[in-house]
């Protein structure tokens, strides 16, 4: 079955929202209809809610703890290598001992 060529409606909504972040679904539907993309207001609402949810957990953790993405990625990599939070804590304690000796 050949793939349809055309506009990705979800991406069109996200692009419009990037330029007009406070736009309502009805206004977005009308603007995209003028460009030739027919999309319902309900579908636009679903896309908007999904966009709002993305990035929220990391943003709240970094704000609360004062950490950035590089530190979080390093911590996740350490957990992946060690296998458990207890093993990661033991590895960090050993690293702290070594650092104190050097």
pLDDT band of 84, cuts 50, 70, 90: very high
Whole-number pLDDT of residue 67: 75
- Higher local confidence (pLDDT), 60 or 31: 31
- Higher local confidence (pLDDT), 13 or 67: 13
Residue 54: CB atoms within 10 A of its CB come to 9
Q: Compute the radius of gyration of the chain from its Cα atoms.
A: 23
**Nearest residue to 43 via CA among 10, 88, 68:** 10
The verdict on pTM exceeding 0.75 is: no
Q: Average per-residue pLDDT in the chain?
A: 84
Q: Where are the domains of the chain?
A: 9-53, 67-101
**Nearest residue to 48 via CA among 17, 71, 75:** 17
Q: How far does the chain reach from its first CA to its final CA, in angstroms?
A: 64
């Amino acid at each position: 079955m050949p793939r349809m060529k055309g506009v990705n409606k979800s991406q069109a909504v996200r692009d419009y929202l990037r330029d007009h972040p406070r736009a309502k679904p009805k206004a977005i539907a009308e603007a995209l209809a003028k460009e030739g993309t027919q999309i319902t207001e309900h579908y636009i609402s679903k896309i908007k809610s999904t966009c709002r949810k993305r990035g929220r957990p990391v943003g709240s953790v970094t704000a609360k703890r004062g950490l950035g993405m590089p530190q979080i990625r390093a911590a996740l990599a350490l957990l992946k290598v060690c296998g458990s939070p207890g093993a990661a804590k033991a590895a960090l304690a050993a690293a702290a001992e070594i650092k104190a000796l050097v």
